[in-house]
Amino acid sequence: MAISEAEAVVMDVLWRAAPRTAEEILAEVGPAQGWQEGTVKSLLNRLLRKEAVHAERDGRRYLYTPLLAREQYVQQESKGLLDRLFGGRVAPLVVHFSEQRKLSKKDIAELRKLLKELDDEQH
Amino acid sequence: MAISEAEAVVMDVLWRAAPRTAEEILAEVGPAQGWQEGTVKSLLNRLLRKEAVHAERDGRRYLYTPLLAREQYVQQESKGLLDRLFGGRVAPLVVHFSEQRKLSKKDIAELRKLLKELDDEQH
DNA sequence: AATAATCAATTACATACGTAAACGGTTAAT
DNA sequence: ATTAACCGTTTACGTATGTAATTGATTATT
């Protein structure tokens, strides 16, 4: 089952560092998101049901660990967008961002480097 | 207000060619999506309420035209993903696809061309 | 004129989502 | 032993979404 946007915010905390307690997660996202304790608890439970996180008892509380890897999530989301909007092809997407003036100098430099590397490993 | 995935499928039909009647839209997406007439009608109504499409009476039926431009939608969605998952930067996204082996020969060629053009217009 | 066909608009309904309050059990303090 | 504190689980509730059936109005047919 897909994980929602709010759930992804919680996953992000766990991807940065795990395991974590609910309290720690709340401390990290609560203020920024304007979320109460109950909200984070609910999201954690939904993530548990979706088997995106694992909970291990540690005395009175639980320690949460991500089961779904960030790479896996990023992959699904990215591929979804690519397929839905760009016919599954990367170049058109980059062209889009280029036209949208979303390519920074740094991006351009890094893309050059990437292409060069791809070229090198060609043989 | 954001338009949903099912709604976007209808928009896609209108982006390919407009104006269109509900019947034409159904004919184009119904079979592929397994949607009944009522489904397409509902989606059209939601799009109307969201002011993503415009309907103009044509005798007994309506002709639907997109108000939201495809470019605008693509832009929102793409920027959303970029910001949520790649810190708003394009190069990391392309690197991701590269690592995921999602870069075809054609993509690579087109990216080279794009970079060259960017270089040229530099001065 | 009465009836049937055609469409769009309204209503329906189950599930997901965002956001949280209430409940309950276990541990800690009095 | 009671009571209080803590923390996870359950329940809640409004809105969105996917998917349609029903209704109602207008036009066409008999």
**Structure confidence by residue, pLDDT tens digits, A12-63:** 999 999 899 999 999 999 999 999 999 999 999 999 999 999 999 998 899 9
* Rounded-to-5 percentages of helix, strand, coil across chain B: 65, 10, 25
Flag if A110 and B95 touch (Cβ within 8 Å).
yes
Among B5, B86, B94, which would you mutate to test the A interface (most chain A Cβ atoms within 10 Å of its Cβ)? B94
Confirm whether any atom of chain D, the nucleic acid strand, is less than 7 Å from CB of B59. yes
Which uninterrupted H or E stretch holds A20?
Answer: none
Phi then psi dihedrals of residue B38, to 5 deg: -55, -35
Which uninterrupted H or E stretch holds A39?
Answer: helix A37-49
Flag if B94 and A90 touch (Cβ within 8 Å).
yes
For residues A101-110, average pLDDT: 95
What residues of chain A lie within 8 A of the CB of B85, using their CB? 74, 77-78
Average pLDDT in chain A: 95
Flag if B106 and A91 touch (Cβ within 8 Å).
yes
The beta-carbon neighbor of B107 closest among A90, A100, A110 is A90
Compute CA distances A17 → A21, A23, A35, B7, B122, whole Å. 11, 14, 20, 37, 42
Query: What is the distance between the alpha carbons of residues B63 and B21, in angstroms, rounded to a whole number?
Result: 5
How far does chain B reach from its first CA to its final CA, in angstroms? Answer: 41
Q: What is the mean pLDDT of each run of 10 residues along chain B (123 residues)?
A: 95 96 95 95 96 92 96 96 96 96 95 93 73
How many CA atoms lie within 13 Å of A56's alpha carbon, on the beta-carbon side? 6
Q: What is the pLDDT of residue A123?
A: 66
Distance from CA of residue A10 to its chain's centroid? Answer: 10
How many A-B residue pairs are in contact by the CB < 8 A criterion? Answer: 97
Q: What is the pLDDT of residue B123?
A: 66
Phi then psi dihedrals of residue A53, to 5 deg: -135, 160
- Secondary structure (3-state) at A115: helix
